[in-house]
Structure 1
Amino acid sequence: MHLPINHRLRPHWRLLAGLCGAYLLAFGVLGVVATAGLPLFDRADTHVLGLRANPAFAWLSLLAGGVVLLAAIVGRDLAHWVNLGAGGLFLLVGLAMLALLQTPQNVLNFEVATCVVALLIGTALLTAGLYGKTGTPRESAAEEVLRHSTRPGDKFTVRPESGA
């Protein structure tokens, strides 16, 4: 599988991941304030930033937003792995909650709009993770040779440590 190293748009994807983390953090903070005093898995009609919330979802958003934003600030390979993991997790949660919308198992109080936002954030974070891999200039050059090679033997002729 090809994951570009030091992609030229990496800073832009990192910024988008940081914005996703900031949104999740803001949603979490406002959600914790708006749902203060409610039961953890409450199914009330409390809306924050246009999405329904309950204390459990607000605290999870606060935690996820903090982790994603911190990874975007720190950068390097931490951001790559956090964005890949968080993006995949958001996609899975969005799909799972979409399947559980009209059931008693909808413990995070999701609605269709919340599922759409989770899927969009998951897609943005996963893409940021795919394009956020960093490495040395040698590793980057070796990956480019690998990416542009047309013969199967080319994939084994360039080694990152050789500088070729």
Structure 2
Amino acid sequence: MAHFPVNHPARPLYRVLAGLIGVYILVFGVWGVVQTIGEPLFGRDSNWVLGLRTNLAFSLASVVFGVVLIIGASRRTNLGHYMNLTAGVVFLVTSILMMSVLQTDANFLNFSMSTVIVSMLFGLILLGTGLYDKVGPEDHAEAERRNRSHPVAEVHTRR
């Protein structure tokens, strides 16, 4: 079974990071929709918003992802934990796939290299926040602490 720290002390910081990423993505998406409305859904025009190239499809997807991340960051349950893990993987996989088709007609989300880099960065941050964002009862957190400080796992130095 995977090891996820339970009730990590820096959890509020991780939730704020995920929330800020969600706000950035939401603002990017809304601004992108306003800028690209009336254009083809998968257009390849040169529309730039907040330093990233976009089209209407990518802007609409960003609005949805931004709202989802904000909802996940605002909940004090494991919903945010699972949402951040999933969103981190989605961002990483999407950025790698879009980088592989960057200079082809298959670049249907109109990515640029800066969009790939920001998507990878957001994916790594969201994956990291998801790893330390798990919530559980205090007895689970205490059992997790005991497992980390088990005598077999500790290194003993003798003189």
Instruction: Give the TM-score normalised by the residue count of structure 2.
Output: 0.93
1:147 maps to 148
2:86 maps to 85
1:17 maps to 18
Residues 22-69 of structure 1 show CA distances to partners (whole Å, capped at 9, x for unaligned) of: 000000100000001000000000101111110000000000000001
Q: CA deviation at 1:145?
A: 1.1
Q: CA deviation at 1:151?
A: 3.1
Residues 118-144 of structure 1 show CA distances to partners (whole Å, capped at 9, x for unaligned) of: 001111111110000000110000011
- Alpha-carbon separation, structure 2, partners of 1:134 and 1:64: 22
- Alpha-carbon separation, structure 1, partners of 2:99 and 2:44: 16
Matches within 5 A, 1:1-164: 1-151=2-152
Q: CA deviation at 1:150?
A: 4.5
- Alpha-carbon separation, structure 1, partners of 2:12 and 2:90: 22
Please tell me the residue identity of whatever aligns with 1:31: G
Instruction: Give the TM-score normalised by the residue count of structure 1.
Output: 0.90
Query: Is the 8 Å Cα contact of residues 83 and 125 (structure 1) preserved in structure 2?
Result: yes
3-state secondary structure, aligned to 1:47: strand
Among all aligned residue pairs of Structure 1 and Structure 2, give the percentage whose two residues are the same amino acid.
Answer: 45
3-state secondary structure, aligned to 2:64: helix
1:158 maps to none
Query: Is the 8 Å Cα contact of residues 2 and 147 (structure 1) preserved in structure 2?
Result: no
Bigger helix fraction: 1
3-state secondary structure, aligned to 2:78: helix
Q: Structure 2: 5+ residue runs without aligned partners?
A: 154-159
Aligned length: 152
1:162 maps to none
When the two chains are superposed, the root-mean-square deviation of aligned CA atoms in Å is 1.0
- Alpha-carbon separation, structure 1, partners of 2:132 and 2:152: 25
